[in-house]
Structures are given as C-alpha cells and as structure tokens.
Amino acid sequence: MVTFIQELVNSLSVASVIILMGIGVTLIFGLTGIINFAHGEFLMLGGIGVWVLVSNGLGYIPALLISVALVGLLGFLLERGLFQFTLLRPNNGFMASLGLSIVLQHVVIRIWNSFSKSIPEPLPGVWEIGQIRFIKMRVVVVVVTAIVVAVTFFTISRSRYGLALRASLADRQTAALMGIPIRRYITVIFAYGSAIAGLGGALTIALFPITPFVGSEMIMLGFAVSLIAGLGNVAGVVGAGLILGLVNGMSGAYGTPEWTNAYSFGLMIVILIFRPQGLFGGTMGPAIE
Amino acid sequence: MTVLEVSGIRKQFGGVVALAGIDVTIKSDEILGVIGPNGSGKTTLFNTVCGIYRPDAGRVRWNGEDITAKAAFQIGRLGIGRTFQQAMSFPALSVRENVQIAMEHGSRRGEGAIRPWSSPEELLAFVGLEGFADESANAMPFGNLRRLGIAVALGGRPSQLLLDEPAAGLNEAESAELVQLFRRVHQLGVGVCLIDHHVGMMAELCGNLIVLNFGNKIADGPTDTILRDAKVIEVYLGAQS
Amino acid sequence: MEAQWGQPLNKDSHSAVAVALDAAERHGADGESTRGFKPSWELAAVAALIVIGVLALPWLKPGYRTLSFALTTGVTAIVLYGMAIPFGQAGIMSLGYAGLMGFGAYTAAILSRDFGMNMWQAMPFSAIVAAVFAGLFGLPSLRISGHHFAITTYVMCELLRIVLTNGGKFTGAATGLDLPPIGTVLGINMDKLANAYLLVAVFMLASILVAYLIGRSSYGRTLRSIRENEQLARSVGINTNLHKVVAFMVSGLFAGVGGNLQAYNYRHISPDLYGGSISLNFALMVMLGGARTIFGPLTGAVIVTFLPEVMRIDPVDSRIAYGLALIAVIMLLPGGVIAVTERVYRRLTETVIATRRVGPSHAGSSSARGD
C-alpha cells in the first residue's frame, strides 16, 4: 500500500509535465486549428535553454524564466512568420510543423550534441510525511503546474478576454464584425501555449535528464491528453493528464514499463471511438452523426 | 403514384422542440408546399424523412413500408431525392461528374416514370445547364448551383423530390424559371414537395400547402383555402408583409 | 435556428477557424487534377517518359547506392499509391501506412520462417492481412474525422510498433526477423540488385496503373463525392461508410504488397521500420507531390528519398536543410509540386492558345449572381 501511494505521489509530477504539454496542444490545436507537431520541440528547447544557462553559471530560477520567455518569443515569431499563413490549409500547417520539428531538433544536435543533458538538482532533498517521501523538486513542479492550470482556466473561462475568445470560436464572422481581433488572439494563444511547453521542459530537466529527442515523444502524449480530455477543454486536460500520469507511474512500478505508451495510446483510441468529443467534452468536438 | 406518410413525428434538440408530433402525407401526384416562419421545423421535417435525424417518436412510411429507421443513403436508394438549403454540390468536381455520381447511384428500384435523359448532358439540358458540363461546380454562379442541386437530385431517379428552399437567394426571373422546371419535373410523374418563403411562387406552383409553426402543423389543404386562413395570416403571412 | 440544423457536417469542424475558412479554401487553388485523372496526350507523354526512365535506370550505371535508394523509393511509392486512394480520392488522411506495410512485411517473414513460403506464396497473404488491418485502422473514420482520425491512426501505428517490439520470439522483438533471398524469378537471379530493382519497378508501375484506373472509374468518382460532400453523397444513395472502409482495404492491399517486397529486399525487418514517424514521412511525400495527382506520390517519394542524398552533406546538416526545404516547398507550393507544375504548364499553354485564337472564351461566366 505504501508503495502504491508512493507511486501515486511520484506519478503526479509526471502527470504535471504531461498536463503542461496538453494545455498548449489543447489551446493551439483546439482553439486555433493549428496542428503543431513541433510543439514537443518547444518543451525540449525549454529544457535545453535551462541547461545552457545553468551550465553558464546562472541560477535555476532566472534560467527558467529566461528560457520560458525565449520559447514564448520563438512561438510568437513562428506564428507570425509561418503558421499564420497556413490557417487556411491546416494540412499544410501540419506538414510545415513536421519540417519545423526536424529543424529545431537537429539545430540543437548541431550546436551541442544528441546526448542527454542534465543539471544539478535545483532543490535537493525530500519531505517525509509518515512513510511517504515527497521529493521537494517534484512537489514544486506539481505546485507550479497547478498555478499555471488555474491561471489558464480562469483566463479562458471567466475573463472578458476568454469570453471574447470563445465567442470568436463559436462564430468567427460575427466575432470579426463585433470587432474582436481574432488574428491577434491566435497569435497570443500560440505564443502562450509555446511558453507553457517551454515551462514544461524547464521543469522536466530539474527532474530527469533530457535529450534533443524528448519532444517527439511528449508531443504524442500532448495530443493524447488533449484528445482524451476533449479539445479545448483545459480542465479536462488536468483529468486526462492525471490518468496518463498514473498509467505511466503504475505501469513503471508494476513491471511493464515497455508497455507504458501502449496503455496511453490504447486508452486514447478507445475513448476517441466511443466518445469522439472526449472524456470531459471538448468545446469543439469533431463532426459526429 | 407514391405516397410518403409521416405520422406523429417528434424531434427535439436539447430543450428545443423542432417537431412536436406532426402528420403529413405527401403524394407524388401533387406539388406540395411547406411554409412557415423560420424555426418552425420545415427543414427538420425533411431531414427526419431523409434519415439525417432519427425522430424521437413517430413513423415515416414510404408506400406503406416503414422507413423510419433507415439510413440516409438507404432513403436515397428508395427514390426520395432531395436538395439542401445551402445549394450543395460536389464543389471541386465538374458539373458533369456531379450529375454522373447521382446517376450511378440513386434509386435502385426503377419505380416511377422512365426518365427522358440517358446521359449527364441530357439531364443538364433538362435543368437548363447545357454547356456547363466541364465547369467546376464551385466556379458557377449561385443560380446555376441551385439548378445543379436539382439535377443531382434528379440524377438519382427519384419518384419523390424534397426541395429545401430551392429559390432562396434567386431573383424573380430565376425563380420563375425554376417554377417552370418544377412543373416539367412534375409532368414526368415525380412528386414535388418544396419548402420556400416566396409566397407568390408557392401560390402559383403548389396545389396544396402545409403550414408549420413551432413544430406544429397549423394548417393543411388546398393553396387557395390556406392562403385565406386567418391563423396562417396571423402567424406567417402577416409577419411577411 | 433552422439554418443551423441543416448545416452540412464539416470534415474539419474540430476547429472553428478551420470551419470558417473551409469555404474559402474550397474556392481556392484547386486545379483540374482534383477531378480524377483526365487522359490527355501530355499525360501519356509523361507516363511514357516515366516508364522508360524507371525501367532504363539500371543501364545508366547509377552505382549501388543510388540503385538501392531507387529500390527503396519504388517500394515506398507502392504504399503511397495505396494511401492516395483514401487520401486523394476520398479525402481521408490516415497516418497508419507504415504500420500496414509492417503487417505485410511481418506476414511475409513469419510465413517464410514457420511455413517455408517464398515471396510469391506469401504475397497474397501479406496483401490480405494488410487489407484487413487497413479496414480496422479505417473504422474510426466512421466516427471521427479530419485530424482526429489522422492522429488516431498515427497512434495505432505506434501501438503496433510497441507490440512488435514486445512480441517476443514470434515477432523477433526489437531485433526483428530475417528473411531468405528472393531467389530466381522467371530464371532471373534476384540476388543482383539491378534485377531486384526492376522487379520492384514493375510492381510500382503496376500500382500506378491500378491507382490511375481506380481514379478514372466510377468507383473513384464515388470516393471523390465523399471527399467533396458526404451528406450530399448519402442523399443520392451512396453508402459512404462502406465505401470508406473498402477504400482503406484496397489501399491496404498496396501496403501489404509493398511490405512484402520491402521485407524480401531488405532481408531483415525490425519494428522501427513501421512506426508512426515513418508514417508521417509517407504523408509528407504524398502531400509534397500531391495526393490528387497521378504522378504526385511518385514525385514526393523521389524528392524525399533523394533530397538528403543529393545534398551530400553532414547528416545533421542534411536533416536541417531537409526540414527547411520542406517548409519552403509547403509555403511556396501549396497543393503539391505536381499540381503547381501542372498549373504553370496550363497557364503557359493557355497563353500560347490564346495568342493563336482571337481572344479567350467566356463560356458560362455571363450569368448574373442572384440575390
């Protein structure tokens, strides 16, 4: 039982990273229709950025802030320079993002190398409550994720900004007539989602070493959680992320780590077939009869 | 003659009652009009008959056979052809291919009259689209797109046509041409049932009218009588003028 | 209110923006090529050139490396022509084709190992197994559409890779399986690369021909009707669900044959050949060349396979250049290389014709738009 609870606790930090990935995907894919396979590379860059800065003597926290800001800026530039031209043809945007993913990955390999990179633990030590051990940094990751989720959720669902955003999604033409600047919203969402992915990477590297290839794996988990949750559903991503985090943790703990992704993917397929609008209902489910 | 019988059809979308249990009989020897304010359930009626929606209650019978549970494509094969409000076509395909597709599928029983056209070009000529066969459907002006929709429906060799606002967005001259086209279609022995807001056109074309309001049928009978009916004037015609 | 109930089901309704912009796209730069493969003397000339070029390649002394790349391209192209049936004709993108190819390849390897079958004996089984799984992979398309479906099939591919990797002795786990050589065909020794290449080339040309015939047939038209307007297709009596699954199964036959040929030519297969990223690469090739054009898939396969090779630079630099080239091509040539080439060609010929005739014709453009 103690092992089980311990694994549960450990799963939470894995779930956090998946959730950060999923939020970006659900916002960008769900709300703007851009399918960005390079979104995983943003996570990778966030982590690599922290590694570079920390290796050059910067503290973890300033390194994290700078790295996240840079990834957000990169997202902004890519939306302005690339993805805004593919809004009309989502398939082309999807293809361009594949190219982008290859470029970002190999630029990192070109400048540094393809080996895994790690930084010294920014916050070493554990808290013990009873027999359960909480690794401090993991707790920080969970708390930061919770804050990001809360901010995102309330911005999207409660604020005037979020209201205008959702209105513009329900009826783009009417929204444009009402003077809602949809193009700018798309840019902001894209940059914000990218920065969140960068944050995911910056937090990940505090827990595990990462390689330049981490993005390709994370992007699939990102798609999986956002589709399991229902596209555009930020709160749902938390639920789905927790489920996948648990699946990850438990299959690792109980001896079938090589099947971990199979469980996540299988779950996603089953849910998409039986509930195309996602487990928690997407704002924008696919066409069903 | 074929008979399409709708009895007690009820359809609800969330809290909105689109059809509140109505009975309609559509015979192929008449031109029947369906009128009513927006949101009165006219299109829902067509969509329910055509298998796009499954009704919450009630039955649809086609020549006595219960077709309520049939899928949209099966209804198309039975010889019930339809057009859509949005002037649908297969946009990137040529006009000829649009019609060919329908002619290669459609009704399988060969019921109803023998059609006088044996090639896509002849059918296109029948609806007044001669010379357009090689155009892209999406390159055609709107009026022609409406005609193409009718040609596609006719290509399936229907014995009953359901036309959803076939004249919407057309000018007077174009509507008048459509009236002639529908008369010719009807002379072939094809039942014609249409929804439209052009009361003038409906009065000229239809022998009988059905009036819907808030999902209820409020009147049903010969056109002259209906258009003088006080209730109809109140809910629909009054609002029009 | 009523207008909304009657709205057509939109393929891309996962996103409001995509929906709103969809109409604009439909009226966009879709060429002649979207209507199936129209025969013309130009098409015949290009086809003849391709046939001659493909078959003559071994006599041009291309070197071992180029020839083996060409063989890979040929095997890939077979799968791509299958993929282009549901994607180009019916408009449904699946990212499961590396996996389906894997079913063909593993079927061939396992039948060879356990039943001593040779390539020809195993080929029908490869094709059928891949077709059955193609149908299964395609089933979700009845419920989910657009990119949801594409991602689902990608994930199915990844699932297959995990199953193959953990399949123990039956699938050879991560190391994979070995196959015997093809041996001789009609007295020709297939151990020689040039001969093996020609065998693949013949299969590839045949698959182009089959894809062409399907595109020209009324069946191709039926599939295009699903792509263009599923609801209207149903209303004229087309069983769209059945046709989607059948289209996938037909494309699976191509993938199965491709997988079989790949297995026997590589003589060693492993799960990594059939994962999601390979599928993505296939999708890239098809889209790059143009799924709706008859020579698009081949062009895409050639470009993607040979581009890094032609650039002959450090592998990492070559990947970067490849990614950048890819982005550039997509941004500059939306609709695929072939469609754009075709359009340029048509514009050139039209200019020539127009200067010969007395002014251009205006057939049918005089009708006024009613309101």
* pLDDT of res. C365: 38
CB-nearest to A33 from C9, C18, C28 is C18
Instruction: State yes or no: pLDDT of A205 exceeds 90.
Output: yes
Q: Could you tell me which chain C residue has the CA closest to the CA of A31? A: C15
- Among C2, C19, C89, C219, the strongest candidate for a mutation testing the B interface, having the largest count of B CBs within 10 A, is C2
pLDDT band at A212; cut points 50, 70, 90: very high
Contacts of B169 in chain C (CB under 8 A): 370-371
- Greater confidence (A204 vs B109) lies with A204
* pLDDT of res. C361: 43
Residues A148-185 pLDDT 10s: 999 998 888 777 777 777 666 666 666 666 677 778 88
Please give the model's pTM, rounded to 2 decimal places.
Answer: 0.85
CB-nearest to B131 from C3, C221, C363 is C363
Taking CB atoms and an 8 Å cut-off, how many pairs form between chains A and C?
Answer: 169
Q: Which chains touch A (3 or more CB pairs under 8 A)?
A: C
CB count, 10 Å around CB of C217? 12
Contacts of C231 in chain B (CB under 8 A): 52, 72, 84, 88
Half-sphere exposure of residue B178: CA atoms within 13 angstroms, side-chain side: 28
Contacts of C322 in chain A (CB under 8 A): 99, 102
CB count, 10 Å around CB of A7? 17
CB-nearest to C166 from A89, A100, A258 is A258
Instruction: State yes or no: pLDDT of A5 exceeds 90.
Output: no
The dihedral formed by the CA atoms of A269, C100, C145 and A98, expressed in degrees to the nearest 10:
90
- Among C17, C313, C316, the strongest candidate for a mutation testing the A interface, having the largest count of A CBs within 10 A, is C17
User: Would the CA dihedral through B71, B73, B79, B80 be positive or negative?
Assistant: positive
Distance from CA of C77 to the nearest CA of B (A): 26
Instruction: State yes or no: pLDDT of C33 exceeds 70.
Output: no
Q: Could you tell me which chain A residue has the CA closest to the CA of C152? A: A269
Contacts of B138 in chain C (CB under 8 A): 26-27, 30
* pLDDT of res. C333: 75
Mean pLDDT of B152-178: 90
| C-alpha–C-alpha distance, residues C240 and C287, integer Å | 24
Instruction: State yes or no: pLDDT of C363 exceeds 50.
Output: no
| C-alpha–C-alpha distance, residues A14 and A99, integer Å | 28
Q: Which residues contact C48 (CB under 8 A, 6 or more apart)?
A: none
Residues C228-261 pLDDT 10s: 999 999 999 999 999 999 999 999 999 999 999 9
Mean pLDDT of C262-268: 94
Task: Name residues 41-60 of chain C within 8 A of B (Cβ).
Answer: none
* pLDDT of res. C76: 96
* pLDDT of res. C254: 97
Contacts of C144 in chain A (CB under 8 A): 272-273, 276, 286, 288
Instruction: State yes or no: pLDDT of A220 exceeds 50.
Output: yes
B81 interface with C at CB cutoff 8 Å: yes
Q: Which residues contact B132 (CB under 8 A, 6 or more apart)?
A: B95, B124, B140, B144, C364
Contacts of C234 in chain B (CB under 8 A): 71-73, 76
Residues C166-205 pLDDT 10s: 988 888 888 889 888 888 888 888 888 899 999 999 999 9
Residues C288, A95: C-beta atoms closer than 8 Å: yes
Residue identified by tokens 């929804």 is B195
Residue identified by tokens 């969140």 is A196
Mean pLDDT of A82-109: 87
Q: Return the structure tokens found at C330.
A: 């997509």
Residues B186-218 pLDDT 10s: 998 889 999 988 888 888 899 999 999 888 888
Residues A7-19 pLDDT 10s: 787 788 889 999 9
Mean pLDDT of C109-124: 94
Contacts of C221 in chain B (CB under 8 A): 93, 97, 100-101, 104
Contact C3, B85 (CB under 8 A): yes
- Greater confidence (B100 vs C6) lies with B100
Residues A101-111 pLDDT 10s: 999 999 999 99
Instruction: State yes or no: pLDDT of C21 exceeds 80.
Output: no
* pLDDT of res. C41: 85
Instruction: State yes or no: pLDDT of C10 exceeds 70.
Output: no
Instruction: State yes or no: pLDDT of C2 exceeds 60.
Output: no
**Which of B200, B85, B176, B164 has its CA nearest to residue B128?**
B176
